[in-house]
Structure formats: C-alpha cells, structure tokens
Structure 1
Amino acid sequence: MRLILIVFLLLLSPLAYSQTCSCGPDFCQGDPRYPQLLANKKASLSVNYPSDLVALLDRDGACVARVEQAPDGFSLMTVSSDGSKLTITWDDDNERISRQQVTEGVARAYYKFNTARRFSCCNDPNYDARPDWDANLGINTGIAIACKKSGSGVICQ
C-alpha cells in the first residue's frame, strides 16, 4: 500500500506542477529541475571558459528551456569606430585583439555574451521589449559584458 502511495505521488507531482504554468513545463520559472541543469551547464562551460563568461548564464531567464537552448560557447562583438559590428567566437586571442583595437581607438567597444538576446520564459516580455535592449547593437546589454576604453586601458563590466 505504501509503495502504491509513493508511486501515485511521484506520478501526480509533475502533473500538478505542469498545471501551474500555461507555457509548458520547460518554460515555467521555478521548475525544480532548473538549478541542477544550470549548475551542470555552468560546470561544462567552465572547463573551456573563464568564470566571468560562465557567470553570464545567471543573468538570463530562469527556466529549463533557456538552459537547454543556450549555446555551448560564447561570442564577442566588436563595434568599430565607424559603428560597424563584427561578431566572432570568443577565445583568448580574439579578446586580446579586440582589447587592443579598443585601446588604440580602432574600435569603440566590444561585448562578450552567451547569447545576444534574452530568452523569454513563461510570462517574460520579449527580448526587444526589455529596458536593456539596444537596437543599435542588437543585444540585450544586461546579459553581456561591455568592454570600453577607460583612461589608457579597457574596463570590462
């Protein structure tokens, strides 16, 4: 009898949870699977990427679908002094070159990100309806690290 009750509760729990979100379980915020999936994704990325980039995953939507759909790498977008943009895969060499371009005034800034646009979990506004959307850059700045000239160096924040 006890075994039947446990099985019944295990089967009923996901059903009860999925009914609390109209967007489907993977898009619901507060899903109990989310923390472990995020931790696994961050652990996987931390093998090849620095901690400041991996920490960007904490800034976006808190739902399972976002973690599962997030890229397994990072990008770097350089904005030239004329306003043109170039987006490439992040690596140490590309960042070193971008930093040098900003220092020399060839580029205004560069941005590091996992994804350029915020993910919309259930009931979240679209990426372009959020206050951090920069249409000129084509990114949500709140999920990116902006690197700009400061004095004779470059500060990333």
Structure 2
Amino acid sequence: MDYKNIQELIKTVSDSQLTSFEIETEGIRIKMEKKEQQLIVERIPAPTALATSVINESVNRESLAINQRSEEKIQSNIENEASIIPEENLFVVKSPIVGTMYSSPSDESQNFVKVGSLVKKGDTLCILEAMKLMNEIESEVDGEIVEVLVLNEDMVEYGQPLFKIRKK
C-alpha cells in the first residue's frame, strides 16, 4: 500500500460516518478512530416546538459539515414525527454488514422500494456494497415500507436500521 492509497483511505474514512476503521494488508496495519458527536434531541411540552442541541468541544470545518447533515436528518425526522407508526407491528431491517447503501440497481433505475411500497418475503430492498461486492438485502417479512432510514449512497454500519416494514 503506497502513500497515495493511505491518504485516499484517510480521506474516505474522514468523509464517512464511520467512527472506527481497521485494515491490514501487505504487512501494514492501519487503525483509524474518530470521536462520535453527541446529538441531544429534547421534546418541549408544546407538540410542535421541538429543539435540537448539538454539544461539541470544538467545531472545525469537518465537524461543522457533519453537524449540518445530522441536523438536517434530525429536522427531517422531527417534521415527520406526526406520521410515526406505533412500534408494535413493525419489523426493522438492519444492515448485516458495513458498506455503502444503494437504493436502486443504477443511477437511471427506479428505487427498489419507497415509503408505501408493498414487499413480500425475498423482495430486494436495497444493495449494500462492501469491498466492491454487491450484496442484495432482501425483505424477511411480507408488508408495507413505512420508513426508509438511510439515503442512497450513505455509509452504513453493522446493525444499523435501514427500513421499517409494517408486517401484514
């Protein structure tokens, strides 16, 4: 592994949402870790007034961009709060691997599923790319997609929730 590849690897991990990364190749072992940022979401008694607080020791250019993306996701979740479904009849599809999530087979194609899509056991929900291998993630239950929890080309971690399906 040459210096350029190591720099590219550092940049890729820095730009991703990964908090820890380790690789060993050609007798070289590289381990990278970055601190997770704390996000605190507070509910104020008035149902429409929700506040988010981002607590961080120092804000640099990278963490500012991450904070903005996180706040956008939180704001999106807050706006959709009125449509939150009770958890009792929901099946949560979690990522079986670390990788990049793709919601369609190609840029020109339609997404495999979207909110409101009816799926059957075995239907493809998305593709997770890990080390240049494309892994189709299939539904384990029959039902309706009620929430898509990750965006196209997002990095996902092992066990991270991807979809919520209302079982039928």
1 or 2, which has the higher helix percentage?
1
**TM-score normalised according to structure 2 size:** 0.27
Larger Rg: 1
**TM-score normalised according to structure 1 size:** 0.28
1 or 2, which has the higher strand percentage?
2
